[in-house]
Amino acid sequence: MHRRFFAPGALVAASVLLAIPASAASSAPGAPGIGDPYYPAYGNGGYDVSHYDLRLKYQPATDRLEGTATLLARTTQDLSRFNLDFLLDVGEVRVNGAKASFTTSGEHELEITPKTPLAKGSDITVVVRYSGVPSGEQAYGFTSWHRTADGGVAANEPEAAWWWFPSNDHPLDKATYDVSVQVPDGTQAISNGTLQSTSSRLGWTRYNWRSNKPQATYLATLAVGRFDITTGRTESGIPVVNAYSKDLGDNYNAARASIERSGEIADWLAEYFGPYPYNALGGYVPNTATRYALETQTRPFYSPSRFASGTNTYLVVHELAHQWYGDLVSVAGWKDIWINEGFARYSEWLWSEHEGEGTTQEIADYVYASRAADDPFWTVRPGDPGPDNQFHIAVYDRGALALQALRGEIGDEDFFAILKGWTDKYAYGNASVADFQAYAEQVAGQPLAAFFDTWLFQPSKPAAPEAREASIARDSGVPAQPKSWKKIAATSDVHEH
């Protein structure tokens, strides 16, 4: 749902338009992409989803997934047809109860032609019946479905939904979710939000999960396998559900000793970012061979290999910081990735200071001094890195450095007011780097265009005088490596295809 663009008059307009059938002349196909220049085919045009109801059945032995997806949406133009993003085999599509014709195109497009054209502003219900073997499907030569010895997992950025449910796959279209999954007894199905209920019948157990706050499609996750599940409640009262594969071997205890601190860390982050925005919290570690972690909403995904060197609370800090920076306030377009990663990285620096392992100033000075001016690191522009560099280390380290510089430029009071005010201003919606600059200027009461240009947009290292002006690297020379550096560095390379 486009929360930012919801106008009070929209409901009235919709009810008027409902009475007027769309004429064939004014109807046109919805665009096959939502308009993101980094990923032109991602998402779709012409409608906005408000809710996904996914009723699934999964057999770990064969990796076969079958299900029915019911999407509640509203049209944003007169539509002769529209697309969903999806890879599995579709058996039937219904729009407002009537069978619709459908075909596939491109890498991941499902084109749906309803029996009659849809008028702009109509509330529509789309039902898709489907089945398939997710591990057998690829798009652009990769998969986001991770087969495990005891099941499978959907988790990736910027795309994971195609392998398990049809969607408008772009962060601009957030929605709420009910995810109901039937798996063989003894196996668990993990997803986002709260576990509403479970029931068993004839050898199968059904898990009913609910996400009652808007959630981007890439932040929806599904993991089926054999897990140990722990539950608890944070000091502030948020219910916690964590899940650990029974097959983590030597990584099991380090994973658990890290993720069991989620409640403590979420409460600590809330002091900087405002109240925790959801009614559920946790993390899960399936037995995948992946290397990254991902901020799947309310319940981040962690790869077992992340814990091979022992506990890493910095990783938990990073993924939980995303619950505000990335999940609560999501990118408007994928070029805005700094809004996610710069802040999640900076949260690790704050945690380092909290743990007495190096201050944010010391880490910033270290990053600035340890990267020579001719290091290609500085050619990456965190404010618009390009799709190939979307998850480049510079988006993280230079991105966090920019925040410490901003803090030096405008002072602690305004800086921390911005960290908290931003998540409130754009809560449950989307925002861009430009929006952040405008908000920072408003709070600080000073123009910051030149500042952001230097730290986020120039393909070069900010010069020493500008750095000193922003209180970065005031002493010359390379400072000692902060104690936390290795743990922070070990939270990098979070994404790979």
Total binding residues toward Zn ion, as defined by CB under 5 A: 2
Q: How far is the CB of 235 from Zn ion (least distance, A)?
A: 25
Q: How far is the CB of 219 from Zn ion (least distance, A)?
A: 12
Q: How far is the CB of 156 from Zn ion (least distance, A)?
A: 13
Per residue, the 3-state secondary structure of 348-411, as one string, reads: HHHHHHHCCCCCHHHHHHHHHHHCCCCCHHHHCCCCCCCHHHCCCHHHHHHHHHHHHHHHHHHC
- Residues numbered 344 to 363 that lie near Zn ion (CB under 5 A) are 344
Q: How far is the CB of 276 from Zn ion (least distance, A)?
A: 18
Max CA separation in the chain (angstroms): 72
Q: How far is the CB of 295 from Zn ion (least distance, A)?
A: 6
How far is the C-alpha of 197 from the C-alpha of 186, rounded, in Å?
16
How far is the C-alpha of 390 from the C-alpha of 495, rounded, in Å?
10
Q: For residue 360, which amino acid is it?
A: T
Closest to Zn ion by CB, 339 or 344:
344
DSSP 3-state of 220: coil
Asked if 195 interacts with Zn ion (CB under 5 A), we say no
Closest to Zn ion by CB, 160 or 344:
344
For the chain, how many residues are written? Answer: 497
Of residues 356, 293, 361, the one with CA closest to residue 321: 293
Beta bridge partners of 69: 54, 128
How far is the C-alpha of 53 from the C-alpha of 354, rounded, in Å?
41
The 10 Å Cβ neighbour count of residue 209 is 26
Cβ(480)–Cβ(125) below 8 Å: no
- Residues numbered 313 to 342 that lie near Zn ion (CB under 5 A) are 341
- Residues numbered 57 to 96 that lie near Zn ion (CB under 5 A) are none
Give the strand pairing for 47-59 and 64-75: antiparallel
- Residues numbered 466 to 485 that lie near Zn ion (CB under 5 A) are none
Closest to Zn ion by CB, 325 or 451:
325
Q: How far is the CB of 432 from Zn ion (least distance, A)?
A: 18
Closest to Zn ion by CB, 85 or 341:
341
Closest to Zn ion by CB, 88 or 344:
344
How far is the C-alpha of 331 from the C-alpha of 445, rounded, in Å?
24
Q: How far is the CB of 157 from Zn ion (least distance, A)?
A: 8
Cβ(165)–Cβ(69) below 8 Å: yes
Closest to Zn ion by CB, 47 or 338:
338
- Residues numbered 405 to 464 that lie near Zn ion (CB under 5 A) are none
Closest to Zn ion by CB, 48 or 295:
295
Q: How far is the CB of 57 from Zn ion (least distance, A)?
A: 32
Map tokens 């999964």 to a residue.
58
Q: How far is the CB of 158 from Zn ion (least distance, A)?
A: 12
Q: How far is the CB of 469 from Zn ion (least distance, A)?
A: 29
| Sheet of 151-154, strand order | 145-148, 151-154, 222-225, 188-190
Closest to Zn ion by CB, 168 or 297:
297
**What 8-state DSSP symbol labels residue 253?**
H
Closest to Zn ion by CB, 345 or 407:
345
Cβ(96)–Cβ(32) below 8 Å: no
How far is the C-alpha of 203 from the C-alpha of 201, rounded, in Å?
6
Closest to Zn ion by CB, 222 or 344:
344
Angle at 267 (CA atoms; ends 262, 269), nearest 5 degrees: 90
- Whose CB is nearest to Zn ion? 344
- Residues numbered 148 to 187 that lie near Zn ion (CB under 5 A) are none
Give contact residues for Zn ion (rule: CB under 5 A): 341, 344
